[in-house]
Amino acid sequence: MASVSRDTKNNHSRYDKLRSLSKLRAIFLIVFLYIIFFPSIAKYETQALNRYTISVNGVVVGVTDSESKIRDFYREARCMLADSASGNMVFVEVPDISCEASAVLSGRVDPDEVIIENMYNVLSESVDDSVSKAYYIKVGDENYTLKSSDDVLAFFEDAISVYDVQNTFDVSLGFDTTRQLSVLSANIYKKDTGSVSDNEVVSEEFADGFITGGFEGDFSYDIADIKDTLKTGFDKYDYGIESIGFSKNIEIVEAYIDEEDVMDLAYVEDILLNEQEVQQVYEVVAGDTLSGISLKVNLPMDALIEMNSALDNEYSIIVPGQELVITVPEPALSVIWTEQAKLEEAYNLPTEYIYNDSWFTTDSVTRQQPSAGYHEAVLRITHENADITDKETVYEVVIAEPIQKIVEVGTIVPPTYIKPLAGGRISSYFGYRSSPGGIGSTYHKGIDWATPTGTPIYASCGGTVVSAGWRGGYGYCIDISHPDGKTTRYAHLSKIYVSAGQQVSQGQVIAASGSTGNSTGPHLHFEIIIGGTQVNPLNYL
């Protein structure tokens, strides 16, 4: 029984081993078939996203298996687009490029060249043909556009040709190496004059223009060049334009813009080079008058008054340091050029001023009379367009010494004079007239303002009351002396509110108007007296 039991156990053990082996074989067979017949499923387990569908502007252009290739596809398509335009820049709307990622068990991918071709075709449909190559000329804060580099060169050549009458300068365009971006600049240079090169060495000894010494080195020479080094005095200077440029920084940039925005060359030249009305500020200096300023800046008096709210009329008071708005014609872009010239001329030294702090600015005395000198000189003259802005003496031979004019002037601003009443109508001006009512003089020494009796009368200027009372034909009358030596007189008054010796201020009420003395009706008779002689008050109010 014991032996049978052992055999039975051995049989079961062999059976179990065979059954286990069969299971293992089945498992290996299933795995083998899985790998053979389902490779995509195996890949899906290791890489979730493996297909990328690319769209440009909503149009599908292909499927790829690598998202990183899309940027390269777009770059290649743009290069193809540029090549199709023969190297010219092409403008397209910014494309909308999208990518839809997916995971598939199996599926196709498009060849790279097919995707690039499809992308190129979509981009071609969005090319903007309305733009063209042009040039921005930036002058200050303003931009102007010209069609071609030839127009740009023509602009600069036309600008300098007005002053470069000898045609000694030329213009070229070059990149500004100080800028990171591709900015062009106009290079204005003097044409070749055949000057001696720097590496040539001339003899150390000369006599009467002939060479007595030798040359160091083996090189050819030009006797005319050597003779130039012998020139002295006025002969050693080169005359004519030395340099030429512009008043503002100019930048030139290549750009592609709408054709309708390109400007005509003649229009740009008119805007930049021809005179336009430009507002400026003029600062009043001592001795200025409105009429003098009008002549100085070549601006009509009525226009000057209209442009400045502080001016009521041609008699308005102005003071040193006051700023007036003026309009002067000048171009937006000025040509700055320097020339060297020989002059033979009579000339004067600038006036020397001695300032007296106890005198009014209207007072002046000439302490030394001038006398013109005479000289021959080489001058370096700087111009802004046709105007001379600076002169520098390079070489000079004085034939007759000049004598400088010396003038002593005051520094105190003189007192001002105001109208001595509010309102009123001028009934009689200063000067010759018919005798009113047979009682008035035929030469009127003041101004009459017709006004009702009792109208307040003001001191035209601050000062000291000299007299206040009855004075014959003037009726009730007041005389006031002022710091600048003038005297004002107020006549035909009905009432007097001040007395002799009293100090009054400008605008203070001193009397009331009336019709006393030789008078044909209520009015104010007003005089300004200088050195005992009456003058026209309207010239001082």
Predicted confidence at residue 417, as pLDDT, reads 94
Same domain membership, residue 246 and residue 150: yes
User: Quick check: is 41 in a domain?
Assistant: no
Angle, helices 2-37 vs 39-46, to 10°: value is 80
Where is mean pLDDT largest: 40-44, 150-154, 308-312, 506-510? 506-510
Q: What is the pLDDT of residues 271-319, one digit of tens each?
A: 888 776 667 889 998 878 888 888 888 888 888 888 898 888 888 888 8
Four-CA torsion 54, 59, 61, 66, nearest 10 degrees: 0
Predicted confidence at residue 395, as pLDDT, reads 92
Q: Which of 113-122, 134-143, 196-205, 390-399 has the lowest mean pLDDT?
A: 196-205
Alpha-carbon distance of 144 to 44, in angstroms, equals 61
The 3-state DSSP class for residue 407 equals strand
Q: How many domains does the chain have?
A: 5
- The DSSP letter of residue 271 is H
Q: Which of 146-160, 222-236, 409-423, 522-536 has the lowest mean pLDDT?
A: 222-236
CA distances from 278 to 15, 97, 281, 330, 419 (A): 116, 52, 10, 7, 36
| Rounded to 5°, angle at Cα 258 from 256 and 259 | 105
Count other Cβ atoms within 10 Å, centred on residue 108. Answer: 8
The domain boundary, picked from 64, 89, 124, lies at: 124
CA distances from 101 to 44, 54, 67, 104 (A): 14, 9, 8, 10
User: Quick check: is 17 in a domain?
Assistant: no
Whether the per-residue pLDDT at 256 is higher than 70: the answer is yes
Same domain membership, residue 429 and residue 526: yes
pLDDT band per the 50, 70, 90 thresholds, residue 218: very low
Q: What is the pLDDT of residues 172-197, one digit of tens each?
A: 887 766 665 567 878 888 886 533 33
Whether the per-residue pLDDT at 203 is higher than 50: the answer is no
The domain boundary, picked from 102, 124, 146, lies at: 124
Alpha-carbon distance of 19 to 304, in angstroms, equals 122
User: Quick check: is 263 in a domain?
Assistant: no
Whether the per-residue pLDDT at 12 is higher than 60: the answer is no
- The DSSP letter of residue 148 is S
Average pLDDT (4-33) is: 59
Same domain membership, residue 341 and residue 326: no
Beta bridge partners of 211: 206
User: Quick check: is 40 in a domain?
Assistant: no
Give the structural domain span for 352: 335-412
Three-state SS string over 208-231 comes to CCEECCCCCCCCCCCHHHHHHCCC
User: Quick check: is 113 in a domain?
Assistant: yes
| Rounded to 5°, angle at Cα 378 from 373 and 382 | 105
Average pLDDT (50-55) is: 87
Four-CA torsion 487, 491, 493, 495, nearest 10 degrees: 30
Alpha-carbon distance of 285 to 282, in angstroms, equals 9
Same domain membership, residue 436 and residue 535: yes
pTM given for the model: 0.45
CA distances from 463 to 153, 423, 479, 483, 485 (A): 69, 23, 10, 7, 10
In CATH, what number is assigned to the domain containing residue 322? 3.10.350.10
Q: How many residues does the chain have?
A: 541
Question: What residues contact 357, with CB distance under 8 A and at least 6 apart?
Answer: 410, 411, 412
